Chain A
Amino acid sequence: MHYAVSSGASVTLPPLMEAKDVSHAYGSANLFAKGHRNFVLENISIAVTERQTLGVVGESGSGKSTLSRLLLGLETPTSGRVLRYGDPMPAPGSQAWKAMRQKMQMVFQNPYASLDRRMNILDQVAEPLCIHALATPKEAREQARAYLARVSFPPHLMGYRPDKLSGGQLQRVVIARALVTQPEFVVCDEPVASLDVSVQAQVLELLESLKAELGLTMVFVSHDLNVVSYVCDSIAVMHRGRIVEYGPAKQVFAAPLHPYTQLLLESAPGSGVPVMENKEDVTVSMGTGCRFQARCRYKQPACSGNIPPALRPFPQKRAVACFNPLSEL
């Protein structure tokens, strides 16, 4: 089950962020079944190497957002460990945790909802610097102005409140706010999902250039495969709380190994592949083999056994969790 993504050279530094056998459960919302827990992530092992962009794709409810919250240390996993440079994450709320927070930031999906509508743009971007006591308010505004300029935000709008601005402008503000503390690790959770096509490209290009300029490491969560393949170096495909495929973006998109990845690629708008009429996804209870079996067109008896397929390494730094990966068919 254990799978190291970084190459096996003995001198390699531990990756920036790493999840080892991480499982995470949320307690049941049902008052009368308090003991029951819903596992949203199961045995996830993944590493994010420095200056790389990891794309996380999967349908809604596959655990993409939970994984990014765990990597940011916003939640502690139910079991397993999240490591930063090989060290365990400090406890949430502790002094060390607060210090670490400034090094990792998040860009949220909906810029309209993630900005304070009663605060002007400049102050919102300056606020993280004041929270982390990195600058005096005056210096903080100075730096905020510089970062807003860097994301090509028009200077004459900096004193405005968010309701006066368009979605594209607001998403630039959110990006500037995430970068102002000079983080090394940024999680972008569907950063362009709420933007128009013409503006989406502006934001993608901006992220790309900032990443090169500031040496950022990014996790990019999205359901748009075209966007992910454009932005990311490597990709993790998630399905029902498990990573079903991992590998360099180019290879995964060119020749998927897992049938679910194949289905996703065929379903992408403009793929030109005719629709495979698929069954509605039936909930497969935990522990009864592969969770994709109900929709899989290559299903075999082993798939419904008791053991779920483990994520096993493949050549070219790839990995797949399938009993009969597509390359072997």
Chain B
Amino acid sequence: MSQPLLQIQSFSVSFGAFRVLNNIHLTLAPGESLALVGESGSGKSVLARSIIGCAGAGARQEGTVLFRETNLTSASDQTLTSLRGGKISLMLQDALSALNPLYTIGRQMMETIALKHPAFAKGAGRAWKGFGRSDKPALRAMALELLHEAGMDRAEECFHAFPHQLSGGMCQRVMLALALAGEPDLLIADEPTTALDVVVQKQILHRLTQNVRARRAALLLISHDLHLVSEFTDRIAVLYAGQIMETGPTRKLLANPRHPYTRGLLEAMPKANTPKGSLRPIAGEVPAPWERDQGCLFRGRCPKALAGCALPPQEYVVENGWASFCGQLPHTTIPHAPSGGGPAYALCS
């Protein structure tokens, strides 16, 4: 494997007395796509925002986040500002509130390109001083090209439109174009399509992954939908209550998950052909931040929990690149071992 692009090591984030992320280890190589999956409150958005130093003023970070050679946890504001929207860009869920309602799409695109695109940006972290008259035609051409790339049919019309005149799907395409404006090496997409309907969702994710792959950039896709990430990512990390439960190659892992939580999630999700009454909900609820300790946080809902689960969960290597953090795994035979080697869960055809 080549030199990793992003290395997150023993990373924890606390807000006040509450630790919302606990001892996270993740690596991301160039050209790779990693899915970060978890329920609400699992800390996936906090992790995404911590990478670019936007987790909020009250966040206390421990550990390291290395982007190439830069340690982002101790980087200066100036370094972070030049990275944000440039080498690392973040695409958010709610496009309508992420865009400025008072400016046209075109103006917002041109502003971002002028500040962040390698061909235009002059000096890191420079404050915005408005467009130079001579730059405008080039900026405009670049903006239209990016909009096309993001799958916008009528880029010209969209260029002159205000955000409220576009549909949710179109706004999200603009967000994608904006995220690509800085030619990022790492694109973090935080639930980029949750508010959209399924048809548009698939089109946008397709565009996004295609683009990232073509430029050999890395993608961190945050989602709560296992079906969705199984189609669009190479690797997956399952997050629960701020702990990583399991991480490995997406399709392999989802076909034969080792961690009881990942299995529970798959059994709780209906598919098109799930017969009635066969859903198995996970009992209980996600523990609140003040109910969390050092042990496995899933043990309160886990069907296989034993007394040993109160200890911090140890890494159990299933195979190279696939690790599961369940204290019971070393002592048990492979749960749900499929007879004949087929997948226990046919998630994707």
Contact = CB atoms under 8 A, between A and B. Distances in A.
Contact of A201 (B199, B272, B279): B279
Contact of A270 (B199, B279, B347): B347
Nearest to B173: A280
A195 to B, nearest CB: 9
A99 interface: no
Contacts of B197: 59-60, 223
Interface string A197-215: 1111110110010000000
B55 interface: no
Interface string B265-306: 101111111101101111101100000000000000100000
B21 interface: no
Nearest to A280: B153
Contact of A280 (B40, B154, B206, B264): B154
A199 B39 CA distance: 10
A267 interface: yes
B224 A196 contact: yes
B202 interface: yes
A291 to B, nearest CB: 15
B68 interface: no
B270 A204 contact: yes
Contacts of B280: 201
A131 to B, nearest CB: 31
B270 A226 contact: yes
Interface stretch (B110-118, B226-234, B335-343): B226-234
B198 A225 contact: yes
A271 B224 CA distance: 17
A280 B196 CA distance: 13
Given A201-B279, A269-B231, A272-B349, A226 B269 contact: yes
A197 B206 contact: no
A223 B195 CA distance: 11
Nearest to B274: A230
Interface string B241-276: 000000000000000000000001101111111101
B150 to A, nearest CB: 12
Q: How large is the interface on B (under 10, 10 to 19, 20 to 34, 35 or more residues)?
A: 35 or more
Which of B268, B274, B348: most chain A Cβ within 10 A? B268
A70 interface: no
A98 B170 CA distance: 43
A79 interface: no
A198 B39 contact: yes
A223 B206 CA distance: 20
Nearest to A192: B270
A277 B199 CA distance: 10
Contact of B271 (A199, A267, A270, A278): A270
Interface string A262-285: 011101111110010111100000
B271 A226 contact: yes
Contacts of A38: none
Contacts of B348: 270, 272
A268 B169 contact: no
B129 to A, nearest CB: 35
A275 B202 contact: yes
Contacts of A200: 268-269
A169 interface: yes
B227 A202 contact: no
Contact of B272 (A196, A199, A226): A226
A197 B349 contact: no
A229 interface: yes
A161 B169 CA distance: 37
Interface of A: 59-60, 166-169, 196-202, 204-205, 208, 223, 225-227, 229-230, 253, 263-265, 267-272, 275, 277-280
Given A208-B276, A280-B152, 4 more contacts: A202-B282, A202-B283, A226-B274, A230-B270
